[in-house]
Amino acid sequence: MHADTNAKMINRLSAITDGVTIVVGGPGHPNYKLFLENGATIVCHGEGEETFNDIIRKVQCGDLDWSSVDGISYKVSGAVIQNKPRSLIENIDDLPFPVRNYPLPLTTYRDYYLMAYRTPYVTMMTVRGCPYSCTFCYSSAQWNFKVRQRSPENVLEEIDYLVKDYGIKFIDFLDDVFGLTYSWVEEFSRKLIERKYDLTYKALINPNTFASKQAKAIELLSKSGCKILGIGMQTADSGTLELVKRTPMSREKLIEAVANAKRNRILTFVSFIVGFPKEPEDAPEQIMGLIDDARPTLIDCYPLMYIKDTKLAKQVASGELSEAWSHDEAVERADRVKRHFYRSPRNISAILTWVLMNNPGWYLRMLTQWRLLLNIAGFNIFRSKKDARSRYVFTEDTLDENRTF
Amino acid sequence: MRIEREIGMRSIEKVGRESGHIKREPVSNLLYPSLKSLQFNPKPEVLLLYFQREISGLGDTFDEFNPLVHLRPQMGLLCLSAAARSIGVEAVVLDQRAIQYSLEDIAS
């Protein structure tokens, strides 16, 4: 994330604070040397809870010898030291529930991009990690290629507390793949249905998730309150799917998943990416064809971004693969797909009808945001070409400064 | 330096207008309180800072970003706050997208 800008902020903060331990963490941690050179005391790598608490305990004791704290980088006499990585927390049920409603009320947060959004809402994670290893995605590497899942009881305990204490009405589950298995979804859904809460939620799945039991799983999700199902397809080209290790995946799987969701009156949101190496000229048209066949409620299409430390970025950096499309070309291809979808009266009508039937209050807010909606839909009426390019500039020290983060 | 000019909520709005593609609706102090107006009890020992996207560079990325439409809580910091509480340490998340403060406010 704009490592140089963050480094300047750390520099400024360290200059105006005295004797304060500055700990930096998050997805920008690979830039740890830059942060440490600009005044950060410690950069935290990987999962933060245990590492952060170790740091707090040491600061409280006045012990500033960091050598025994796993998962951090720091400086000693000008030299950068990186300790051994911290092991992942084995049982994430043991973690305390995130602090909500303090110091700001829950209603401070909102997400009208979700057409089923109701207030008050929270985001929640039930899984850390992703069972897939798509080469363009950082998720698996971020979690050391391990997947840990909370038990249905633990997730429901948190939901009980959120509903009873804060009156939560909508949950945005941020997991890469919600539920992972049919048995988890079955137990979670049945117990949530029994509670009879006025609660709806959004979940993300993969077209292959739940395999042969997908239809039954989606029915259970719907009955337990799922209103939006995000499905990551990424591309319709079989060669590209294979290249980025996104297999087994097929057009038919997506069409089936969308149909299963629509049967249960769930809004479907399918995401695509264009601009992969070796991607054929007609990849956007293949995506448009798939969209026309599957007919999801919403789609989005993004230009590929090479994320630092992903296998795909390394393959391009080493010359094993070469970029097939410039960033501007990828943006144009992505916008073409979005325009194809959002110029269709049939698709617009389906969206408006779904919202009217399921969440009419959403209109009151979003109709004032018509410029924003047009930009999301790829029309770019209020965005110059230069702006479109600058949107994807993240950091300088990656393989292509204009396309990576 | 650009970054020094950008620190502080009022100047963030100015940057938004300068860049020409971040639409900002007028914000009220009720919606976005200042750090000084917030009461912390107990007094926090740890501050977990999350900076405005316009400052941290993400404003250019999310040009459709409008906090009145989309303001997602930062799960990672909420989890760290809970972890700190579990060992008896008060750690508060200062989300600069929703609380007005500058680095100088933090320092003081």
Taking all residues of chain A, what is their mean pLDDT, rounded to a whole number?
Answer: 88
DSSP state of A202: E
Residue range A180-234, pLDDT digits in tens: 999 999 999 999 999 999 999 999 999 989 989 999 999 999 999 999 999 999 9
Cis-peptide into A120, omega within 30 deg: yes
Phi, psi of A201 (to 5 degrees): -155, 165
Would you state the pLDDT for residue A384? 41
- Residue A231 belongs to a domain with what CATH number? 3.80.30.20
Same domain, A206 and A70: no
Are residues A59 and A184 located together in one domain of the fold?
Answer: no
CA distance A37 to B10: 29
Partner residue opposite A391 with nearest CB, options B61, B71, B85: B61
For residues A75 and A108, membership in a common domain is answered with no
- Do A134 and A12 share a domain, yes or no? no
- Is A400 domain-assigned? no
Of A43, A59, A82, the last residue of a domain is A82
Domain shared by A7 and A126, yes or no: no
Closest CA to B56 of A338, A145, A31: A31
Total domain count, chain A: 2
Q: Residue A253 in contact with residue A208, Cβ under 8 Å? A: yes
Mean pLDDT of B91-103: 86
Q: Are residues A68 and A142 in the same domain?
A: no
Nearest CA in chain A to B79: A98
A282 in the same domain as A197? yes
- The reported pLDDT for the residue numbered A90 is 93
Q: How far lies A276's CA from each of A306, A392, A403, in Å?
A: 10, 16, 12
Instruction: Assess whether pLDDT exceeds 90 at residue A307.
Output: no
Q: Which residue of A has its CA nearest to B72?
A: A109
Q: Which residues of B touch A12 (CB under 8 A)?
A: 3-4, 7, 103
Angle between helices A182-195 and A152-166 (to 10 degrees): 30
Residue reference for tokens 């933060």:
A48
Q: In this structure, are A105 and A226 located in the same domain?
A: yes
- Using a CB-CB cut-off of 8 Å, the residues of chain A touching B75 are 98, 123-125, 174
pLDDT at A13 over 60: yes
Residue that finishes a domain, picked among A49, A82, A115: A82
Mark whether A45 and A185 lie in a shared domain: no
| A280 and A153 together in one domain | yes
Q: Residue A224: phi, psi to the nearest 5?
A: -90, 0
What stretch of H or E contains A73? strand A72-76
Backbone phi, then psi, for A272, in 5-degree steps?
-130, 160
Using pLDDT thresholds of 50, 70 and 90, give the confidence band for residue A8: confident
Per the structure, the complete domain to which residue A266 belongs is given by 92-390
The mean-pLDDT minimum among A142-151, A312-321, A382-391, B4-13 falls in: B4-13
CA triplet B53, B56, B60: central angle to 5 degrees?
60
SS3 A226: strand
Residue A267 has pLDDT above 70, yes or no: yes
Q: Are A68 and A106 in a shared domain?
A: no
Instruction: Write the CB contacts of B101 (distance below 8 Å, at least 6 apart in sequence).
Output: B9, B34, B35, B94
Residues A288 and A272 sit within 8 Å (Cβ to Cβ): no
Place of tokens 């706050």: B81
Which domain-ending residue is among A38, A57, A82? Answer: A82
Task: Name the residue among A275, A281, A234 with its Cα closest to residue A254.
Answer: A234
Whole-number average pLDDT of chain B: 67
> Has residue A316 been placed in a domain?
yes
Q: Any CB–CB contact under 8 A between B5 and chain A?
A: no
Arithmetic mean of pLDDT, A239-262? 90
Q: Is A196 left (phi over 0), alpha (psi -120 to 50) or beta?
A: left
Q: Give chain A positions within 8 Å (CB) of B103.
A: 9, 12-13, 16
Q: How far apart, in whole angstroms, are the C-alpha atoms of residue A309 and residue A73?
A: 18
- Indicate whether B46 pLDDT > 70: yes
| Tokens describing residue B99 | 């609380």
Q: How far apart are CA A391 and CA A342, in angstroms?
A: 21
Is there a single domain that holds both residue A34 and residue A182? Answer: no
Query: Which tens digit of pLDDT belongs to each residue from A42-68?
Result: 999 989 999 999 999 999 999 999 999
Tokens of B106: 């933090």
pLDDT in tens, B7-44: 333 333 333 333 333 333 334 444 567 888 888 888 89
User: Residue B59: its chain A contacts at CB < 8 A?
Assistant: none
Can you tell me the mean pLDDT for A319-339? 92
Q: Do B76 and A25 touch (CB under 8 A)?
A: yes
B positions 21-80 inside 8 Å of A (CB): 21, 23, 31, 33, 38, 40, 45-46, 51, 55-58, 60-64, 66, 68-73, 75-76, 78-80
Residue A391 above 90 pLDDT? no
